[in-house]
Structure formats: structure tokens, C-alpha cells
Amino acid sequence: MNAQSRIFIAGHRGMVGSALVREFEAHGYRNLVTRGHDLLDLTDQRAVRAFFADERIDVVLLAAARVGGILANSMKPATFIYENLAIETNVIDAAYRAGVERLVFFGSSCIYPKLCPQPILESYLMSSALEPTNEPYAIAKIAGLKLCEAYNRQHGTRYVALMPTNLYGPNDNYDPASSHVLPALIRKAHEAKLANAPALTIWGTGVPRREFMHVDDLASATRFVLEQALNDGVYNVGVGTDLTIHELAQHVAQIVGFKGELIFDRSKPDGTPRKLLDVSRLAQRGWHATIGLTEGLRAVYAQYAAQHPILDAVSNG
């Protein structure tokens, strides 16, 4: 891969895809190819094959996906498994048919079993049962990485799979019906502060532990993998440390400036008890995350607060 390589970033408007655009542009890559959903529906096999036939792509970064938190996954399991399977199979197969030798597939730490040992090694994949609340999404992502493995073995492609931990950053999803835990906490704490609310209610017990990484670190790891010619396999991408949801909520409240009480709704699901990735495989090859949680959260909240200076209910009269 070189600065002139034509790199297709699938999902460039999302949090991961936009971070990839920033990262590669900042390091001199000028032939970035993007298509919004309005121009290319990645669930449409015929359209995807036509795109690859026309565009002469050298590298694919497959960041397009249907994503969401516990609520979204529980409400639309068929949508999550179907759309992700369709995107993965269409893009990976069309890339191979068009002669694309390099591809990075982005999975998720939810591919690992609910109760596997911690920290989680890549080898723990499919060793026991998945977390039921996001099983359809996880199965789709497992299928995607297995597609990469199969095409490498049968066709000699160089398709690698990255499994990031929980991500946050610019262009995150703050919709209360479909967001993940961190952006949901940021929005709730911000709105509670603006409303001078005495308390903030959070789903679950607060006991589960989670690891969080700024999306720009994932983009950095992606460029590292391609430039260092790591051509196959699965790599965890994370920071190597975690904290409880309660600790995270306290941290967010402090940064946002919300001084009320934190109340945990124990009637809501917790999800997996702990998800801490073992990141030694990529670390041994020379890559480490560099953005600390406090630093990252301050930057993300500053951006969010600037875009939401008042409550929607107030702004609507």
C-alpha cells in the first residue's frame, strides 16, 4: 500500500468511517473513495458488484454496519443480523471478484462469549455462548471475520479483521433509542445538567465493567495494520484497561458538570458482566492506543455541548 492506493472507506459518514478518513488524509493518502447510502446501498449485491467493477479499488476498509446498543438490538434483531450479513457478504465477495487483495473488516468485542475468561484473547472466539441481548449482531460479525478467513484460505487474499473494544468519539450516535452506553450517558448527563434535574437514571446495576477507546485510536491501528502488512487473522484493538459502568457514569458526570444523584435502574439488563480485551497481539507488533479516557471524553463532550447548548424541548418552545 502507498499514498496513491485507491482506498474505499465503506461507511465514511459513521463514527469509525469518518475517523478513518481523517487518519488517512492526515498521513498523505489522497485517493480515498467514498459513497453515501444514497449513492450506494451496500445491501444491494448487484449495485455493490457494479461499483467494484467500475472503481478499480486497491484497499477496502469495511466500516459500514448497522449498529446500536442493548435497546436497539433487542427491538430489531432481524434487522441487525440481516443488514450486517448482507453488507459483509456483498462487499467482501465483490472485492475479491474485482481483484482487491487488501481488506480490513471491523468487528466488535461482542463477538466473544458472555462468560469467557478476562482479559479476552482472540482464541476465545466461539468457545461458549454469546450474550443474548446482542446475539444476532454478534453472529453477523463472526460471519464477517470467518468470510475473511475463508477467502484468504481459498483465494489467497489478504483480508484482516480488527475487533475493537467499545468506541466513542466524533460523529457518535446519541439517539436515546439506539446509542451505546457512553454516548447515552453523555446525553443524559448533559440534559440533566441543563434541566437542573436532581437525579439521573441509568440502566442496570452499574456493576458491569467495560473498556472504552477513542475512535481515532482505532483509525491509527488500521493504518498501522496496513502499513506493517499484517495480512490475515484477527486482532483485538483496545486500551487494555476497564472500569465499572458506575465509575464511568461518575466520570461523565464530573466532566459534564452534573452534580445530581446517579440512580441505577436494576430492572434493566446489564449485558455482559465484563468485556476487557487482551491487546497483546497487536502490542507485540508495535501498536498502542495513545488517547486517555479523560482526554478523549473532554474533547467529545466539548463538541457535543457546543452542538446542543439548550434542551430540544426548550428550543422547540
From the annotation, which residues make up the binding site for NADP(+)?
A: 11-17, 141, 164-167, 180
Residues 6 or more apart whose Cβ sits within 8 Å of residue 180? 67, 68, 69, 166, 168, 172, 173
Residues annotated within the binding site for substrate are 188, 203, 210, 270
69 C-beta neighbours (distance < 10 Å), count: 22
Ranges of H-type helices in the chain: 15-26, 45-55, 70-75, 77-97, 135-155, 181-194, 215-227, 245-256, 280-283, 293-307, 312-315
| Catalytic residue list contains 137 | yes
CA distance 67 to 110: 12
Q: Which three cell numbers stand for residue 82?
A: 440481516
CA distance 57 to 211: 34
Classify the C-alpha dihedral 177-188-113-162 as positive or negative.
positive
Catalytic residue among 29, 112, 137, 235: 137
Q: Which three cell numbers stand for residue 57?
A: 479499488
Classify the C-alpha dihedral 289-295-301-302 as positive or negative.
negative
What is each CA distance from 34 to 9, 85, 237, 275, 276, in whole angstroms?
A: 6, 21, 24, 32, 32
Helix (H/G/I), strand (E/B), else coil: 62: strand
What is each CA distance from 251 to 31, 200, 226, 238, in whole angstroms?
A: 40, 14, 35, 19
Active-site residues: which are they? 137
